[in-house]
Amino acid sequence: MERLQKVIANSGITSRRKAEVMIQEGRVKVNGIKVKELGVKVSTKDKVEVDDILISKKDHVYFLLNKPRGVISSVEDDKKRKTVVDLIETETRIYPVGRLDYDTTGAILLTNDGTFANIIMHPQYEIDKVYIAKIRGLIKGDSIKKLKEGMIVEGRKMQASKVKLRKSDATTNTSIVELTIHEGHNHQVKNMFAAVGYEVLKLKRKRIGIFTIDNLKSGEYRRLTPKEVQIIYSLEKR
């Protein structure tokens, strides 16, 4: 059993002192009943809500990282290269949700919550994974059409739900293409471009569903808010 204000603070939404104020203001419910006194203790079985938003269980943590180039998306690496987990300061054993290649940068989520990870990754929830790819060559309209129509790569159907040509530069012979997909197969974006005849020179994931890296510098990360976690969980019930 732990004090209510500690449980709220541990969920990452606020400090312990501010949690006490929230309790006194009547913004906190335990198992559906408003609690205004300090000193109440709860267990992990109790349902704690702040402003009617369920706060994550104490033992679940969620991070959004802007992955730099040259970092591997796994928990450990047998070649002892730096991993995305090494970049996050936490006592909890977390793992990345899906993968970005060693040379790919951008948004990656890390957690120890398997249900959350599954919602993010499973194509049935149609969560956008938006990539910016710099490719060699000036991409043609029929290639863009093929990316949208879909293709079979290594026995799997791969399809972009959206493709936007951002820039075509004849002097450098490169194009910048924004591609949205819902699956997350290994090397999917590079394989899709290869299937239509283009090499990816640079790849960045700029968004996963509601999570963008707009306010995070390379290598920076932040915790998700309980509201953000709740939004992802609300998709599960569809």
Residues 177 to 236: which contact ligand URA by CB under 6 A? 187-190, 203
Binding mask 61-80 for ligand URA (x = CB under 6 A): --------------------
Tell me if residue 33 falls in helix, strand or coil: strand
* 101 is a catalytic site residue: yes
Q: What are phi and psi of 133, to 5 degrees?
A: -115, 130
Cα–Cα distance for residue pair 237/185, rounded to 1 Å: 24
Kindly tell me which of 62 and 131 has the beta carbon lying closer to ligand URA: 131
Report which of 55, 116, 57, 59 is spatially closest to residue 90, judged by C-alpha positions.
59
Kindly tell me which residue out of 77, 101, 128, 178 binds ligand URA, with binding defined by CB under 6 A.
101
Q: Is 85 exposed, middle or buried (0-12, 13-18, 19+ CB in 10 A)?
A: buried
Residues 1 to 40: which contact ligand URA by CB under 6 A? none
Q: Which two tokens stand for residue 2?
A: 């732990």
Pick the catalytic residue from 46, 77, 86, 101: 101
- Amino acid code (one letter) for 201: L
- Are 94 and 85 in contact, with CB atoms under 8 Å apart? yes
Closest CB 3 distance from ligand URA, rounded Å: 43
State the number of binding residues for ligand URA (CB under 6 A). 8
Cα–Cα distance for residue pair 179/70, rounded to 1 Å: 22
Kindly tell me which of 22 and 117 has the beta carbon lying closer to ligand URA: 117
Kindly tell me which of 2 and 103 has the beta carbon lying closer to ligand URA: 103
Q: Which two tokens stand for residue 128?
A: 């956008």
Query: What residues contact 40, with CB distance under 8 A and at least 6 apart?
Result: 3, 4, 23, 30
Query: How far are the Cα atoms of 13, 88, 173 from residue 176, in angstroms, in the given order?
Result: 38, 31, 11
Closest CB 190 distance from ligand URA, rounded Å: 3
Closest CB 59 distance from ligand URA, rounded Å: 29
Kindly tell me which of 106 and 226 has the beta carbon lying closer to ligand URA: 106
Kindly tell me which residue out of 5, 56, 104, 175 binds ligand URA, with binding defined by CB under 6 A.
104
Q: Which range, of 1-9, 62-70, 96-104, 220-228, touches ligand URA by CB under 6 A?
A: 96-104
- Are 131 and 189 in contact, with CB atoms under 8 Å apart? yes
Q: Which range, of 84-92, 99-107, 117-125, 220-228, touches ligand URA by CB under 6 A?
A: 99-107
Any idea which residues carry the catalytic annotation? 101
Q: Point out which residues bind ligand URA (CB under 6 A).
A: 100-101, 104, 187-190, 203
